[in-house]
Amino acid sequence: MLGCNQNICLLISCIVFLTSVHYLSAYSCEFNVRMKQALKNEGFHRNLTYGIIFNGEDDQCWLFKDCILGLEQVLPSGVYANPDELSTLRRNNKINAIPKHQVNIELPAEKSPPTVTYVIEKIQDCKVYMWLPVHARYHIALYGGGMTRNKIDPPKLYLRCPDQRLEMCNKAAKPVNFLCNGSSKEKCSWKEIPYSVMSDSIVWKIPVGDMDHYSKISVGTALVIAIGSLYLIKAIHEHKLITSFNPFNNPLS
Ligand SMILES: *[C@@H]1O[C@H](CO)[C@@H](O)[C@H](O)[C@H]1NC(C)=O
Ligand SMILES: *[C@@H]1O[C@H](CO)[C@@H](O)[C@H](O)[C@H]1NC(C)=O
């Protein structure tokens, strides 16, 4: 014998077994993905940003390398992403974002449904930064004006990888089909991945026009137009008087 007492051998194989089980389960599903979402800039045109970290601590981002990340962002009625702007950004290789359905950017918030936009990016490192330009919709004026609260929820996070490496992970999650990227109409199979949100929920307060102001403004506008017209009529009248007394201008002479 090599001095391997049967109990010790059993213990060692036990440890080896447990370690590999631990490894496999870590491989199969401890994604440990974290995201910080923020709304930058001021005013009616803003920048929705996403900072995403994959397995930061335990150095396992190889699991995600060369995979494609797809965010499915729902925007509330008061906020939209402009499809024309997104297609320009895609053409210039700035961001790869695509509206899920047609988006009517003219509609006021009260008449618009929430919309969905995909933002897609390849994972190169353990960290990915993504962004989406968003705009406030016009809100129908109310008496008293005020603000509306538009809550932007965290997106759903999907992955697709060039090989089968995610097959054994998250078996319960059914693959979902949607666009592969913005450059083709082709659809790909994606898998939803759980993650932790590391930021506060985003609430964008958008000012609503005040109907009281509008009525004052309309009365003011009407007055200006009326006075202006009176002034014009008076001027035309005076001009006519002058020209009719001018003998050189008299068509009859
Ligand atoms: C939005 O923010 C990101 C990250 O800070 C930046 O790279 C991008 O240029 C910004 N976009 C706009 C339109 O400001
Ligand atoms: C978009 O997806 C299609 C289908 O998978 C692929 O052939 C094409 O190379 C992709 N384009 C970009 C720019 O990633």
Q: Are residues 227 and 117 in the same domain?
A: no
Structural domain contains residue 35: yes
Query: Is any ligand 2 atom within 6 A of the Cβ of residue 186?
Result: yes
pLDDT for 218: 67
Are 172 and 234 contained in the same domain? no
pLDDT on residue 27: 47
pLDDT in tens, 33-82: 999 999 999 999 999 999 999 875 566 677 788 899 999 999 999 999 99
Structure tokens at 131: 């962004």
- From the alpha carbon of 41, which atom of ligand 1 is closest? 14
What is the SS3 assignment for 21?
helix
Furthest-apart CA atoms within the chain: distance in Å: 142
Please indicate, yes or no, whether residues 116 and 201 belong to a single structural domain of this protein. yes
42 shares its domain with 77: yes
- The residue behind tokens 């026009």 is 209
Q: How far is the CA of 18 from the centre of ligand 1 (A)?
A: 46
Same domain, 194 and 230: no
Residue nearest (by alpha carbon) to ligand 1 atom 11: 47
**Residue 6 maps to a domain:** no
pLDDT at 2 over 60: no
Distance CA 70, CA 181 (A): 9
* Residue 234: predicted pLDDT: 84
User: Do 150 and 225 lie in a common domain?
Assistant: no
How many A from CA of 98 to the centre of ligand 2?
14
What is the per-residue pLDDT for 228?
A: 82
Shared-domain flag, residues 161 and 224: no
Look-up: residue for tokens 């006075």?
A: 227
Same structural domain, 109 and 199: yes
pLDDT, mean over the chain: 82
Tell whether 5 is covered by a domain.
no
Domain assignment present for residue 21? The answer is no
**pLDDT 10s digits, 154-176:** 999 999 998 887 777 766 678 89
Burial of 218 (0-12, 13-18, 19+ CB in 10 A): exposed
Indicate if the pLDDT at residue 23 is higher than 80: no
| Average confidence (pLDDT) over 95-123 | 94
Instruction: Note whether 71 and 192 are same-domain residues.
Output: yes
Could you tell me the distance, in angstroms and rounded to a whole number, from the CA of residue 198 to the centre of ligand 1?
A: 20
Number of domains in the chain: 2
Nearest CA residue ID for atom 1, ligand 2: 181
**How long, in residues, is the chain?**
253
Q: What share of the chain is helix, strand, coil (3-state, %, to 5)?
A: 30, 30, 40
Identify which of 99, 101, 93 has the alpha carbon closest to the alpha carbon of residue 81: 99
Does 236 fall in a domain?
A: yes
| In the predicted structure, residue 1 carries a pLDDT above the cut 50 | no
Q: How far is the CA of 208 from the centre of ligand 1 (A)?
A: 26
Residue-level pLDDT at 29? 58
Domain coverage including residue 216: 212-241
Confidence of residue 14 (pLDDT cuts 50, 70, 90): very low
- pLDDT of 243 reads 67
pTM for the structure as a whole: 0.73
Residue closest via CA to ligand 2's atom 7 equals: 184
Comparing 217 with 196, the larger pLDDT belongs to 196
Interval 97-108: pLDDT, tens: 999 999 999 999
Residues 125 and 182 occupy one common structural domain: yes
